[in-house]
Amino acid sequence: MVHVGSHETDRPAKEHANTAGSTLIEVAEVNAGYDNQRERTRLIALRDISLKVTQGEFLAIVGPSGCGKTTLINMIAGFVKPLSGVVKVRGVPVDGPGADRAMVFQDYALLPWRTVERNVEFAIENRRGHVPKPERRARIANALQLVGLAGFEKSYPHELSGGMRQRVGIARALVGEPEILLMDEPFGAVDAMTREAMQAELEKIIAETRQTVVFITHSIDEAITLGDRIVVVSSRPGTIREIIDIDLPRPRFDERNDIKRSARFGEIRSHLWKLLSDEALGAKWGSVARQEGETA
């Protein structure tokens, strides 16, 4: 087996990060779960999660379906409160959503009665003094251009394909230029070619804006091409199996030099593949028994 770096979570910032940054997001010894009032049980979704994200870092999260990725990102967003432990942003415990964090939702969460441009505007019209009105038009047009939806400003979500709706959700998250981008499988419904183009676009944007990104994906390749680090979550209950440094040079999307052909990419890829297929099998055979153990 090729060696792939695996580290403690509170490891100091790496030289290849965009900005040699201080800790921006800190998840400390968090347990999370959902209560079922009817059956009087509690499903433990995440157990003992500790993790730090530095300023300007691109953190990718992978793991089998149902392992608690959305729960984790929802805690950072501020919707879900941990059962124990604490989530901090810039040293301050998270108590609900804030202007510094925007999110791309796994289920898009677009307002069906608003057109595409009005949906994007939603991100910058609610907080007082967020983006002045005259500036909004240009910002919205720019965001829609970035996700390739120029010309669809007046369409309603129900008139768009799944992948197009998802891109509206991305434009909505980008338009306010938040410090932290939380993206829950943002390219899940997009075709392979568009997906790659959007990954390249995202990398370019991030390099420019130096935003910090937490990015959930089911695609190993996507995690490696985009991430500075990859968190592998194992399931039932979700725990951090491993955190992998991706020491590939940036920009990763380079016409002359396909990063996916590099030896290093292949090493990381097969390592991740093995981790995740263990997970998938483990989930298959062990899930029922473990699940029963966890619900109390």
Partner 1 sequence: MTHVAPAERSTRSPAQVETITVSRYASLKGVAVTIVNLAVFFLLWELIARAGLINELFFPRASEMFAAMYNGFADGTILPEIWHSLSNFLIGLAISIVIGIPVGLLMGASRVADLILSPYVWAMASLPRVALIPLLILIMGFDNSMQLTIIVLSAVFPIMVNCMAGVKTVDPSLLRAGRVFGTSRVQTYSKIIFPFTLPFVISGVNQGIARGLVGMLIGELLGGGGSGLGFLLDRAGDQFDAPMLYAVLILLAVMSVGLIQSMRWLEQRAAPWRDTLRT
Ligand X SMILES: Nc1ncnc2c1ncn2[C@@H]1O[C@H](COP(=O)(O)OP(=O)(O)OP(=O)(O)O)[C@@H](O)[C@H]1O
Q: Which residues are near ligand X by CB under 6 A?
A: 34, 43, 45, 63, 65-71, 106
At closest approach, how far in Å is the CB of 70 from Mg ion?
Answer: 3
Closer to partner 1 at the Cβ: 23 or 142? 142
**182: helix, strand or coil:** strand
Any contact of residue 235 with Mg ion (CB under 5 A)? Answer: no
Nearest to 180 by CA among 100, 73, 97: 100
Closest distance between ligand X and the C-beta of residue 79, in Å?
Answer: 10
Q: State whether residue 39 is helix, strand or coil.
A: coil
Q: Which is nearer to partner 1, 132 or 285 (CB)?
A: 132
Cβ closer to partner 1: 226 or 240?
226
User: Minimum distance between the CB of residue 253 and partner 1, rounded to whole angstroms?
Assistant: 6
* Residue whose CB is less far from partner 1, 49 or 164: 164
166 binding Mg ion? (CB under 5 A): no
Residue 71 interacts with, from partner 1, Mg ion, ligand X, none (CB under 5-8 Å by kind): ligand X
Residue 149 identity (one-letter amino acid): L
Nearer to partner 1, 19 or 145 (CB): 145
Residue nearest to Mg ion (CB): 70
> And the tokens for 86?
């604490």
| Distance from the Cα of residue 14 to its chain's centroid | 20
Q: Dig out the tokens for 9 from the structure.
A: 């979570």
Q: Is 217 in the site for Mg ion (CB under 5 A)?
A: no
Our CB check for partner 1 shows the closer of 46 and 80 to be 80
Instruction: State in angstroms the smallest separation of the CB of 163 from Mg ion.
Output: 17
Q: Which residues contact partner 1 by CB under 8 A?
A: 77-79, 96-97, 99, 101-103, 105, 107, 109-113, 122-123, 126-127, 130, 145-152, 156-159, 164, 172, 176, 193-194, 196-198, 200-201, 253, 255, 258, 260
User: Which one of the spans 40-48, 64-72, 124-132, 204-212 is the region binding Mg ion (CB under 5 A)?
Assistant: 64-72
Q: Which is nearer to ligand X, 45 or 116 (CB)?
A: 45
Find the binder of Mg ion among 18, 54, 55, 70 (CB under 5 A).
Answer: 70
CB of 236 to ligand X, least distance (A): 7
Q: Rounded CA gap, 240 and 68, in Å?
A: 10
CB atoms within 10 A of CB 288: 10
Pairing of strands 92-93, 84-89: antiparallel
Amino acid residing at 144: L
Site for Mg ion in 103-122 (CB under 5 A): 106
Q: Who contacts 261 (Cβ-Cβ below 8 Å, separation ≥6)?
A: none
Alpha helix positions (H), the chain: 69-77, 116-125, 133-146, 162-175, 192-209, 220-226, 263-294
Task: Find the farthest-apart pair of alpha carbons in the chain and give their distance in angstroms, rounded.
Answer: 58
Task: Tell me the DSSP string of 65-115.
Answer: TTSSHHHHHHHHHTSS--SEEEEEETTEEP-S--TTEEEE-TT----TTS-
Euclidean distance between CA atoms 63 and 232, whole angstroms: 6
Binding site for Mg ion (CB under 5 A): 70, 106
